[in-house]
Amino acid sequence: MDPFLEGLDESLLLVKNISAALLSELRELPISGLRLRIVCRTADWLPTLEEGLRSLWGKERVAALEIVPLRHRDAMLAPVTAGVPDPEALLEEIRARGAVPFAAGRVTPRFLFNLHLNAKRLPRNRVEMYREGC
């Protein structure tokens, strides 16, 4: 798996010059074969970081992409792949229990699917879901 930096925007709360710091560290590494993925909220994306990455790897090897929200049919693929017998019912239960933020994450959807598959229904609220997940 390629190196993956998630939450770059959150690091800005602690390190104001994260772009310069990251680029400085990358310049010290043998990066010729390295593939790096950085995740950041669009509004907080640092153009200086993108420019620096392009200077390191070259314009043709750096892409800044924006991830759009899932469509309903895309959201249905994950529970089907996880073996959920009635994905539509699960998605309705997720909405009813206020668990959409769980379902929208990278790791927590699998947690919701496993809860559903093992218990046949989700906990009543998000607090119970957190507790169950811990």
pLDDT digits (tens, 9 = 90+) for 63-104: 999 887 777 787 788 888 888 888 888 889 888 988 888 787
Closest Cα partner for 63 from 44, 42, 38?
Answer: 38
Q: How many CB atoms lie within 10 A of CB 44?
A: 11
Is 0.85 surpassed by the pTM of this model?
no
pLDDT of residue 1: 56
- Please provide the average confidence, as pLDDT, over all residues in the chain: 85
Q: What is the mean pLDDT of residues 25-41?
A: 87
